[in-house]
Amino acid sequence: MLNRRFFSKSLIISLSFFSMGHAPWGQWQVYRMRHMLILSVIEDKNSYPFSKKIIDSLEQTLPESRARPARARGFRRVHSLLSTDQMPLVVLSKDVAISLLYGTGVFSEFSPVNMNLVYDFGSMVLLARPKMPDSHTWRITDALIRSGEYDGVINNTEIPIHNGSNTRFMNLPMPEEPKIDEEIENAPIL
């Protein structure tokens, strides 16, 4: 009888510790909310080095973004992170980006992912999920333009431009910030 009670109690205690866990998921979500993460992928050789260049520019012109690089191992992970709105921004080569948009090429095993163009750098593009607030993409586009390091190209690809970026390219004022309740309700789970 004593062994059964001891076993039952130890099982309950160990399961409660296991269910609480010490995984850093909660902290990871906080980190994603405090920093603007720009996703890249190892399989697209130029995306990570280019994401670091973008981050350097943003540190100079938009330091409050606290931009950081995030690198995925492969296209499967990139698709997973973007299609589930876990990551709102990604830097890819233009041909890889178009593959993501249509579910072709390197993304032929996956469903298409709706993305919008934030900035076209020529051979590389910065994309955002459509749910990203217009004011955010306006600020990113504005910061990249002000950095003076990149020529602003207005969508010479088949990727639709994000509303906020388009507004900035037309030299219009920044769209209104979403209200806190709307932002929380519509914000991607990062």
Domain assignment present for 10: no
Domain assignment present for 20: no
Domain assignment present for 3: no
Q: d(Cα 150, Cα 78) in Å, to the nearest integer?
A: 25
Q: Find the DSSP H helices in the chain.
A: 2-20, 25-34, 47-61, 75-83, 94-102, 134-147, 163-169, 180-186
The C-alpha R_g of the chain, in whole angstroms, comes to 20
Digit-by-digit pLDDT tens for the chain (190 residues) are 556 666 666 656 655 555 544 445 554 454 455 668 899 999 999 999 999 999 999 999 988 888 888 899 899 999 999 999 888 899 999 999 999 999 999 999 999 999 999 999 888 999 999 999 999 999 999 999 988 887 766 656 688 999 999 999 888 888 887 766 555 555 554 4
What is the sign of the dihedral through the CA atoms of 190, 34, 164 and 59? negative
Q: What is the pLDDT at residue 190?
A: 40
Domain assignment present for 51: yes
Q: d(Cα 82, Cα 76) in Å, to the nearest integer?
A: 10
Q: What is the pLDDT at residue 103?
A: 92
Structural domain for 142, as ranges: 26-186
C-beta separation of 132 from 88 below 8 A: yes
Q: What is the pLDDT at residue 13?
A: 62
What CATH number should be reported for the domain holding residue 38?
Answer: 3.40.190.10
Q: What is the pLDDT at residue 98?
A: 94
Q: d(Cα 107, Cα 93) in Å, to the nearest integer?
A: 13
Domain assignment present for 177: yes
Domain assignment present for 92: yes
Q: What is the pLDDT at residue 10?
A: 65
Q: What is the pLDDT at residue 85?
A: 87
Domain assignment present for 59: yes
Ramachandran assignment for 148, one of left (phi > 0), alpha (psi -120 to 50 degrees), beta (any other): left
Q: pTM score, two decimals? A: 0.77
Instruction: Give the number of domains in the chain.
Output: 1
Q: d(Cα 37, Cα 89) in Å, to the nearest integer?
A: 7
Q: d(Cα 40, Cα 46) in Å, to the nearest integer?
A: 9
Domain assignment present for 18: no
Q: What is the pLDDT at residue 11?
A: 57
C-beta separation of 42 from 73 below 8 A: yes
